């Protein structure tokens, strides 16, 4: 009902004046309004609830993210502390290594200097050795010349004494006599003389000679090897006379 179009005079002039308030339309409009208000309220509550839930979820996400970041920061700090300790240890090891390298370099320099000195001494020793070798070769040549000259005399002495002389070791001579025992010509009579020192020594005799100590003392006193060989032959011959033939 539109009040601006209401003809009040006409209504009052009628026999039964009546104004239709249109209650049903009003009630319908009121219901629609209340429904709209209720729908708006429900939408508002739903929106508020959704926003609240989103806020709570976002707050929780931010809290979790903050906790995660704080944990990562703590881990980073701990890692930083470990790295600093490791760096300090490496720096200390580097200092020790540098100190060791410096000491080794000094030792190397000293060793090189010592090696240079040794090289000089080695060259001197080589020169001395070369001189000694030349002198030894010269002496050997002289000895070979003398030996060649004495060889006939040695052979004559061996033939006369019926004795063979052999070098069996350094500074050791084997004297082997022949024609000692006519009844047993194959029986061995020999001795080994050690001439490595000023005091002559007889290492062994075949057979054992009881008078050897006396003959050896006489040799060391007189230094006459030729007489000693002759005495040894006579001693073996005297012994052969007492040994029964086999």
User: Does 179 lie in the same domain as 150?
Assistant: no
Inter-CA distances, 113 with 41, 99, 118, 139, 231, Å = 103, 21, 9, 38, 63
Total domains in the fold of the chain: 2
User: Does 134 lie in the same domain as 80?
Assistant: yes
pTM of the complete model beyond 0.75: no
User: Does 219 lie in the same domain as 187?
Assistant: yes
Closest to 70 in 3D by CA, of 62, 59, 58 = 62
Instruction: State which of 127, 161, 195 marks the end of a domain.
Output: 161
CA–CA separation, 235 and 217 (whole Å): 15
User: Does 203 lie in the same domain as 124?
Assistant: no
User: Does 147 lie in the same domain as 76?
Assistant: yes
Residue 112's domain comprises: 72-161
Instruction: State which of 138, 161, 184 marks the end of a domain.
Output: 161
What's the average pLDDT block by block, 10 residues per block, for the chain (246 residues)? Answer: 64 74 80 87 87 87 88 89 90 89 90 90 89 85 71 67 80 87 82 92 92 94 90 89 63
User: Does 139 lie in the same domain as 91?
Assistant: yes
Give burial (CB, 10 Å; 0-12/13-18/19+) of 232. Answer: buried
Instruction: State which of 161, 177, 200 marks the end of a domain.
Output: 161
Q: What is the pLDDT of residue 3?
A: 55
Instruction: Indicate the helix (H) or strand (E) that contains 167.
Output: strand 163-169
Q: Is residue 126 part of a domain?
A: yes
Three-class DSSP category at 201: strand
Three-class DSSP category at 191: strand
Inter-CA distances, 206 with 18, 76, 90, 130, 190, Å = 181, 97, 80, 44, 5
Q: What is the pLDDT of residue 153?
A: 67
**Vertex 77 angle, CA 71 and 81, to 5°:** 145
| CB contact at 8 A, 174 and 190 | yes
Closest to 192 in 3D by CA, of 180, 202, 183, 181 = 202
Q: Is residue 41 part of a domain?
A: no
Q: Which residue is associated with the tokens 């000089």?
A: 120
CA–CA separation, 61 and 54 (whole Å): 10
User: Does 220 lie in the same domain as 144?
Assistant: no
CATH number, domain with residue 176 = 3.30.457.50
Residue 193 bridge partners (DSSP): 173, 202
């Amino acid at each position: 009902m539109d009040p601006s179009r209401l003809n009040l005079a006409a209504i009052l002039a009628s026999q039964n004046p009546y104004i239709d308030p249109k209650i049903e339309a009003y009630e319908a409009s009121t219901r629609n309004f209340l429904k709209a208000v209720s729908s708006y309220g429900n939408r508002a509550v739903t929106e508020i609830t959704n926003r609240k839930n989103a806020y709570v979820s976002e707050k929780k996400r931010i809290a979790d993210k903050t906790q995660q970041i704080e944990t990562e920061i703590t881990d980073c700090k701990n890692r930083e502390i470990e790295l600093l300790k490791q760096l300090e240890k490496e720096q200390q090891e580097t200092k020790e290594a540098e100190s060791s390298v410096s000491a080794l370099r000094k030792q190397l320099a000293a060793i090189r200097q010592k090696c240079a000195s040794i090289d000089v001494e080695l060259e001197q020793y080589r020169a001395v050795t070369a001189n000694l070798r030349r002198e030894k070769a010269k002496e050997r040549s002289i000895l070979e010349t003398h030996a060649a000259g004495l060889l006939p005399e040695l052979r004559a002495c061996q033939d006369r004494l019926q004795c063979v002389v052999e070098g069996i070791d350094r500074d050791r001579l084997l004297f082997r006599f022949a024609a000692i025992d006519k009844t047993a010509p194959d029986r061995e009579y020999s001795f080994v003389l050690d001439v490595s020192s000023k005091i002559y020594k007889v290492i062994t005799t075949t057979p054992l000679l009881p008078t050897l100590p006396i003959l050896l003392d006489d040799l060391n006193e007189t230094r006459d090897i030729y007489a000693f060989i002759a005495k040894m032959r006579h001693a073996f011959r005297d012994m052969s006379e007492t040994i029964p033939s086999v």
